[in-house]
């Protein structure tokens, strides 16, 4: 990758960034966004499915992160309200799907680190 070392500004979503990496991290950075996105690569999930898959996330944090990912256009939220109980599903948008190769590579790298330097515990 050719990185040019020159001063520049990039406007994205009414914010200024000095580097394209900063834009990427704005969208998927933090502890939970990429984790949520990885679990949605395999297909749509309901809120409670995500909550069970990501057992260490709080309900409030999951809710806030899902709202932010939807606002950023990475996931879609579909509400089925025709008959009780209310059903909500989350799925990657085409924009979110464009992240799949990157997220998969990060997850694979993390698996290698866990196998080499970590310890898997029973849940």
Residue 19 is given by DSSP the state S
pLDDT of residue 6: 66
CA-wise closest residue to 36 among 7, 67, 12: 67
Q: What is the pLDDT of residues 39-95, one digit of tens each?
A: 999 999 999 999 999 999 999 999 999 999 999 999 999 998 887 778 899 999 999
pLDDT of residue 113: 95
Give the integer Cα–Cα distance in Å for 20 and 106: 18
Pairing of strands 15-17, 45-46: unpaired
Set out the domains of the chain in order of their start, with CATH numbers: 29-117 (1.10.10.10)
Read off the tokens for 112.
């290698």
Q: Which residues pair with 91 in a beta bridge?
A: 76
Q: What is the pTM of this model?
A: 0.87
Give the integer Cα–Cα distance in Å for 80 and 47: 13
């Amino acid at each position: 990758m050719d990185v040019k070392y020159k001063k520049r500004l990039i406007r994205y979503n009414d914010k200024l960034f000095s580097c394209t990496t900063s834009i990427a991290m704005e969208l998927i950075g933090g502890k939970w966004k990429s984790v949520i996105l990885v679990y949605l690569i395999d297909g749509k999930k309901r809120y409670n499915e995500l909550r069970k898959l990501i057992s260490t996330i709080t309900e409030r944090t999951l809710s806030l992160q899902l709202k932010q990912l939807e606002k950023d256009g990475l996931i879609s939220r579909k509400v089925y309200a025709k008959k009780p109980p209310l059903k909500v599903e989350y799925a990657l948008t085409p924009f979110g799907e464009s992240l799949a190769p990157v997220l998969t590579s990060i997850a694979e790298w993390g698996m290698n680190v866990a196998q080499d330097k970590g310890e898997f515990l029973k849940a």
